[in-house]
Every structure is written in C-alpha cells, then in structure tokens.
Amino acid sequence: MNQTLQEPEAAELKTPDLEVSDLKDPPETPDRPPTPPHPRFLKPQRVAFVQACWHREVVDECRVAFLDEIETRGIARAQVDLFEVPGSFEIPLHAQLLAKTRRYTAIVAAGLVVDGGIYRHEFVADTVIKALMDVQLRTEVPVFSGVLTPQQFHESAVHVEFFRKHFVIKGIEVAEACAQTLHSLERLRSQVAAGIV
C-alpha cells in the first residue's frame, strides 16, 4: 500500500445569516429497494475473533465493524467469542488451539503489523499469514485474516485516522468472507454427507 497521506487543510466555514422563512423542508428521501436477506445458516455458528493489542485504537475498528456486519449476516454477537493477544505474531498459536477445541466454525484474526521492534514487518506479516493458512488446512476450521501491514505507517494523527477507517472496511470485508465461506462449507458438507460429491 503505497499511498501518500497529506495533512488535511483547515477550511474556513462561513454560514450566512438565515431567516426562519429561508428554512425549507428537507427533500424527500427516495425509496430504496429492500436489501435482500442474507441466507440463513442450517446449524448454529460460533466464531472466535482473535485481536492483537498493538495499535488497539486502530485494530478495534476492525472488530467493531466485523461484529456489526456478521450480525446482519445471521451470526449474533453472543455467538462471537473475543480473544486478545499482545501482537500479531501471537495470533496463529491462539488460532490453532481454538480450532482444535472444535467449538468454533470459524476463526478471525485482526492485527496491524508496522515497522519497528526486533522483526521486520514484512517477515512478521508473511509468517502470520502462512501460519494461519497452515492452521486452516490442518484443522479444517476456516481462518480469516484482518492482519494488515502497511508499506509505511507513522505515529501521526493523519496515519492513525486513515488506518482506522481502513480497518472498518476490512472488518466488513472479513465478515462477508466469513459468512459466505461458512454457507459454502455447509452446502459442501451436506453434499458430501449425501454422497452427491
């Protein structure tokens, strides 16, 4: 992600003096077609959400957006267990132990890996992603990654705010992927059990 971030310029806002007669009713909102309902799950789903605490103010945005979106897709917040680890490097072991319990139908990981410390951020991010894929393949419990590593991250208000917004998008995307995959696996497993596949 090679993006240039600039400090937002402060714009002077001037509001004209308004008379009561100048105020009009707001325009009517056009009717939107109803959002198609998401498919229902055949069996109860339980998800583990494992979050790194490093840069919590950024990563929290992923968790909040995930919980909101997953609920619209048929998995109640009460069915999502939250776990915290110090950093992203610690996520895979937790994911593996949670998957081995067979209590969870999916595991979601969220973290922000940045420059600094004793490890290069590319190494940590690659290691975490590969380890999460290994957990998924070894246990057959799907694991989803909201672990991100920006090309450049500075401890400035502008960067923090940019990545907070970006993690909202990632939270929604990981919830969509989680729900769609769980539906797909339900169909596939029922087809395998019926001898269709």
Residues 129-140: pLDDT tens digits? 999 999 999 999
Give the pairing of strands 80-85 and 143-148: unpaired
pLDDT at 121 (0 to 100): 60
Structural tokens at position 75: 């998995």
Q: What is the pTM of this model?
A: 0.76
pLDDT at 28 (0 to 100): 62
What are the start-end ranges of the E strands in 6-56? 47-52
Q: Could you confirm whether 120 is annotated as catalytic?
A: yes
Among residues 147, 117, 143, 146, the alpha carbon closest in space to that of 132 is found at: 143
Among residues 189, 140, 148, the alpha carbon closest in space to that of 171 is found at: 148
pLDDT at 117 (0 to 100): 52
Among residues 102, 127, 104, 124, the alpha carbon closest in space to that of 113 is found at: 124
Please, which pLDDT band fits residue 80 given cuts at 50, 70 and 90? very high
Range of lowest pLDDT (13-27, 67-81, 160-174): 13-27
CATH number for the domain whose boundaries are 43-193: 3.40.50.960
- Which of 56, 77, 102, 120 is flagged as catalytic? 120
Average pLDDT over residues 64-88: 96
